[in-house]
Amino acid sequence: MTGSFEAALLVGALVLLVAVVAVRFSTRLGLPSLLVYLALGMMLGESGFGIQFDDADLTRILGTVALVLIIAEGGLTARWSSLRPSLGISATLATAGVMISVAIVGGVLHLLLGLDLPTALLYGAVLSSTDAAAVFSTLRRLRLRPRLVAILEAESGINDAPAVLLVVLLATAATSAAAPHPLWWDALLFVYELAVGTLIGLVVGFTGRWLLRRAALPSAGLYPIAAVGLTLIAYAGGAVVHASGFIAVYVAGVLIGNARLPHRQAILGFADGIAWLSQIGLFVLLGLLASPSRLPEAIVPAVIIGLTLVLLARPVSVFLSVLPFRWTTPVTLREQAFLSWAGLRGAVPIVFATIPLSLAVPGAEELFDVVFVLVVIFTLVQASTLPPIARRLGVTAGAEPTELRVETAPLERMRADLLQLDVPAESNLVGVHLDELRLPTGAVVTMVQRGETGFVPTPSTRIKAGDGLLIVASDQVREATVRRLRAVSRRGRLARWFGENGADMGD
């Protein structure tokens, strides 16, 4: 017994280390990390090292826990100042957009593949949610307009909630001998779960902020544990009252992550590490559950369904979701095209596919295989083509400051953040002297990295292409600093004369 436990622990540790190293190589090759993790799981499975694993129910439970932690990290690291202007669009995409996508995919599959309508709609529901892990990890490597990043990240953090409700409703209806509930009942249940889940997230988030600000914990390492524990309470609280735990987690995470808490950077770093661990464990587990011998039969339906989703359902859902905001926060056709292509699927649809599998829904095994193949093919195609498509559509950003997760006592006391700005060759920051940046009082460039060396700049230091600037900005002037840097990057030292204020292109 002891020997088998130690062997399992050894294999688990080796897989974890291989997965961590694989991130570096997958990033260099431009491949999404999730594909590497899925491949690791399949190598360990029945067609590789021979590990037999077919427990769909356990996969669903562990997958749900992993998704909760991934969504929590997304909420904790989301900046409310970036999220707020686009929240309406994101919420509409995550709710109405999900239902539009389900209806289109279900209708097309019913007509083209001859699936009965309930099964076709179940396919649509399983595939309707974009994947938080895939979106977060992919978009953060791109230099995109902040509003587009905010829309996609918020959508992926929110849309798991309505999607899983639809999957459970459809899967339960397919296996229940009782007469299905009337449509109005399911609609009320849908609204109840989202509304109460949001309320629970607000309660836990505000309560958690209050507690963490006033708690004098004996160790700095306890604050990150407490913060992540609060997001788990939000999920469990929602689940206990039959509301959406996923939406509760995201809302609580956003509230806690945007508060000025003790050891805030340590909290964010810990959440990031937990999210990576969850991704690795989740994808490897899903790879183990897959049966490679059955997957070739799923290729043709997976391609048909994927093309329907990417070329029809997603663009239509994006177009209709942004339509109500055309007067307040208009989204251009180019931005809509990018939002359509960037709706990445990842582990979430595969996890959702384990729900009908664990409930023994007729055809659930074929559904799981199709979803697995679809995710692999279209994640590879979409993620690898996002950078050139973003450039082609003109939705890239020149130079965008990003927050570094560095915890120091002076920054904590000053309520300041450390920002990093990489200067691309095409930026109008090139050739500007530091004193010409005219940063607001409370912000200063503390170091310049040039090549392999770094130095403390003077006001007369001229910025060169490829420089990396480290900027300390107090909380009060952080947003003004970002806007000023963005303005100079676009129009140079005379940005104000050109009326450039550094607003996001979608503001």
| 420: nearest Cα among 148, 137, 140, 133 | 140
Q: Check whether residue 297 and residue 416 sit in a common domain.
A: no
Question: Would you place residue 359 in the very low, low, confident or very high pLDDT band (cuts 50, 70, 90)?
Answer: confident
| 471: nearest Cα among 457, 460, 461 | 457
| 244: nearest Cα among 129, 134, 340 | 129
Q: Check whether residue 319 and residue 426 sit in a common domain.
A: no
| Long-range contacts of the stretch 445-451 (C-beta < 8 A, 24+) | 445/469, 445/470, 445/471, 446/470, 446/471, 446/472
Q: Is the pLDDT of residue 410 over 80?
A: no
How does 141-160 read in b/e, with b if 16+ C-beta sit within 10 Å? ebbbbbbbbbbbbbbbbbbb
| 173: nearest Cα among 118, 113, 251, 91 | 118
Q: Decide which of 393, 411, 439 is a domain's last residue.
A: 393
Q: Check whether residue 230 and residue 289 sit in a common domain.
A: yes
| 374: nearest Cα among 425, 312, 300 | 300
Measured distance CA(84)–CA(44) in Å, rounded: 43
Tell me the per-residue pLDDT of 21-33, one tens digit each, with 9 for 90 and over: 777 766 665 566 7
Residue 413: per-residue pLDDT: 66
3-state secondary structure of 453: strand
At residue 421, what are phi and psi to the nearest 5 degrees? -130, 115
368: in domain: yes
Q: Check whether residue 332 and residue 427 sit in a common domain.
A: no
Provide the number of structural domains found in the chain: 2
| 90: nearest Cα among 162, 138, 12 | 162
Q: What percent of the chain has pLDDT over 70?
A: 91
Q: Check whether residue 389 and residue 476 sit in a common domain.
A: no
Residue 27: per-residue pLDDT: 63
Q: What is the DSSP letter of 427?
A: S
Q: Check whether residue 425 and residue 380 sit in a common domain.
A: no
Side chain identity, residue 236 = A
503: in domain: no
Q: Is the pLDDT of residue 41 over 60?
A: yes
Q: Check whether residue 373 and residue 236 sit in a common domain.
A: yes
176: in domain: yes
Q: Check whether residue 297 and residue 415 sit in a common domain.
A: no
Average pLDDT over residues 217-235: 88
CA 147 to the chain's CA centroid? 14
Between 135 and 307, where is the model more confident?
A: 307
Residue with structure tokens 């688990």?
Answer: 12
Q: What is the mean pLDDT of the chain?
A: 84
SS3 content of the chain, % helix, strand, coil (to 5): 70, 5, 25
Q: Check whether residue 389 and residue 412 sit in a common domain.
A: no
Residue 235: per-residue pLDDT: 94
Residue 208: per-residue pLDDT: 92
CATH number of the domain at 379, please. 1.20.1530.20
Q: Is the pLDDT of residue 51 over 80?
A: no
Residue 405: per-residue pLDDT: 59
CATH number of the domain at 433, please. 3.30.70.1450
505: in domain: no
Measured distance CA(357)–CA(299) in Å, rounded: 19
Question: Would you place residue 1 in the very low, low, confident or very high pLDDT band (cuts 50, 70, 90)?
Answer: very low
Tell me the per-residue pLDDT of 56-112, one tens digit each, with 9 for 90 and over: 888 888 888 988 998 898 888 888 877 888 888 999 998 999 999 999 999 999 998
Q: Decide which of 358, 374, 393 is a domain's last residue.
A: 393
CA 355 to the chain's CA centroid? 21
Q: Check whether residue 118 and residue 239 sit in a common domain.
A: yes
504: in domain: no
Q: For residue 408, what are the domain limits? A: 402-498
Q: Decide which of 393, 427, 458 is a domain's last residue.
A: 393
Q: Check whether residue 305 and residue 368 sit in a common domain.
A: yes
Half-sphere exposure at residue 206, Cβ-oriented, CA atoms within 13 angstroms? 5
Average pLDDT over residues 359-386: 87
Q: Check whether residue 216 and residue 336 sit in a common domain.
A: yes
Residue 29: per-residue pLDDT: 59
Q: What is the DSSP letter of 309?
A: I
- Residue 386's alpha-carbon distances to 31, 74, 216, 275, in angstroms, are 11, 20, 45, 23
Q: In what order do the strands lie in the sheet with 416-422?
A: 402-403, 416-422, 468-474, 443-450, 453-455
Q: Is the pLDDT of residue 260 over 70?
A: yes
Tell me the per-residue pLDDT of 450-473, one tens digit each, with 9 for 90 and over: 888 888 888 889 999 888 888 888
Q: Is the pLDDT of residue 233 over 90?
A: yes
Residue 176: per-residue pLDDT: 67
170: in domain: yes
